[in-house]
Structure 1
Amino acid sequence: MTELAGTVALVTGAARGQGRSHAVALAAEGADIIAIDRCADIDSIPYPLATKADLDETVELIQAQGRRVVPVIADVRDLDALRAGVQVGIDQLGDIDIVVANAGVVAIGLKDPLDAQVYRDIVDTNLNGVWHTIAATVPSMIAKGRGGSIVLTSSAQGLVGRGGDGSAAMFAYAAAKHGVVGLMRSAANAYAQYNIRVNSVHPTGVATPMILNEHTARMMQERPNAPSLSANLLPVPFVESEDVTNAVVWLASAKARYITGATLPIDAGHTAM
């Protein structure tokens, strides 16, 4: 018997990177998956975002685990569209047990301190999008009546301010990721009466297309001190998606049944420095 057999899990940002890793691992543990992604670029974000082809690949990987999956193209910044997409998944798979609010963007190297558009897009995705995900899914979890687990993806930058450079992009990222902690703690209090646990995970840099792209590589060459801003205590430049996924699956499982309101770093010691 797999750990999460008979459950339904919803993952945002599921088309690639951490989101894909989480979705496939939850499926391997027995969950059916509602896989949500925007599948389009954002003009202010300086690297390509996931595509419909990426989401299709995630679907195939989940199906290879023998689980059902409903792919949904929706932007977490749009509450109405997200609610509609969530309902499509519920209609096909049933009410939700597990939510992983993972969708996020970054704009490393954009130095303008007054770039209001990039500030808005990052906060709207990384913070408002997390609230939208909670708002769109919790009614289903409550209706199901058997509790559940919500995992919010923050960042090491949600616990510390190291790496700030005065740019609108980095202010937005740190503010949004700190804000996720506030959402998590408030939601943990609000939904404990329904036996719904809410926690946040805080990765350091993860080896995904968010970091491993041409724009970031160019920025690293132009800013020789950049690696020191994101240094880890353990001698690794990045962690892997599976390292974060292991924590997400654990928090979703009965093994973490009494853990709620926690901030869990998966950061190779980044926040301990």
Structure 2
Amino acid sequence: MTLLLTTAAPKVVLITGASSGIGEATARRLAAAGHHLVLGARRTDRLAVLAKEIETDTETDTGTNTGVAFPHVLDVTDPDSMRSFVSAAHDRYGRIDVLVNNAGVMPLARLDALKVDEWDRMIDVNLRGVLHGIAAVLPVMRAQGAGHIVNIASVSGLRVDPTAAVYSATKHAVRALSEGLRQESRELRVTVISPGLTRSELTETISDQDTKDAVAGQMGIAIPAAAIGEAIHYAISQPTDVDVNEIVVRPTAQG
């Protein structure tokens, strides 16, 4: 089935890391806007529950329950898994309008803790995962002559703090490759979303207890993941000749 896209038509939106946090909130917001979603994550049980809820309980912007969500297993660190995810979406709908590269991990710790395996995991998920997504959708979007890639970075991509050196490095890299992709593209739109303190499961990936406790002490001012979903909705809802390149969303109280 090929969806013919007009200005008001639903878009086919792929979301990585869709089983919780920003990915889940974005899925719910875009379902409410009437878009067709393909949800990717490793936790397929949670994806299935989310997809069912979207298709049965979504109150859309037009007031009708017409959410459409298709769950698909995805490991962003595996290029073959990413290609399978994209192919399944394209086979189902005949086009791919938006990719939201959201999957990420944040095991913060001081460098002298020497958590090398965690460094590698952040590079694999936060950076290589984004590259794998771009590599998988770019040929499809080039062939269509249109598309939109939304990369989730972080305010840590704008600054560097103690315990966040490697995490910040991956998010600085996401912003850099997004800008490079934007400059190379005249038919594609590229958006970077940089969240500040946001309520999600990212903090659960922190294994260093002192760091985890310190981050937990800051989460009282954190904004809901829905705020980031709203920013993504804004970016993809603009006219096709308007490219919202970067949005930074912080709690008002965050320094």
Q: For this structure pair, what is the TM-score category when the shorter chain's length is used for normalisation? A: 0.7 to 0.9
Identity over aligned residues, as a percent? 27
Aligned 8 A contact 1:204 1:270 in 2:
no
Deviation at 1:125, TM superposition (A): 0.3
Deviates more, 1:58-67 or 1:109-118: 109-118
Q: Which runs of 5+ in 2 are unaligned?
A: 1-5, 59-65
Decide which of 229, 233, 237 is 1:253's aligned counterpart. Answer: 237
Contact 1:77 1:128 in 2 (8 A): yes
Q: Please list, as runs of the form range in 1=range in 2, the aligned pairs for 1:1-273 lying within 5 A after superposition.
A: 5-39=9-43, 52-64=44-56, 65=58, 66-109=66-109, 112-145=112-145, 147-161=146-160, 163-165=161-163, 170-192=164-186, 194=187, 196-211=188-203, 213=204, 219=210, 223=214, 237-255=221-239, 257-260=241-244, 262-268=245-251, 273=255
2:109–2:208 CA contact under 8 A, matched in 1: no
Q: Give the whole-Å Cα distance in 1 for the aligned partners of 2:8 and 2:126.
A: 27
TM-score by length of 1: 0.79
Gap regions ≥5 residues in structure 1? 40-51
Deviation at 1:256, TM superposition (A): 7.5
8 Å Cα contact 1:8-1:93 kept in structure 2: yes
- In the superposition, the TM-score normalised over structure 2's length comes to 0.84
Runs of 4+ with deviation above 4 angstroms: 109-112, 213-218, 220-223
**Range with greater deviation from structure 2 (134-143 or 181-190):** 134-143
| 1:4 CA displacement | 5.7
**Higher alpha-carbon deviation: 248-257 or 197-206:** 248-257
Residues 40-75 of structure 1, C-alpha deviations (whole Å, 9 max, x = no match): xxxxxxxxxxxx321112211321332332211121
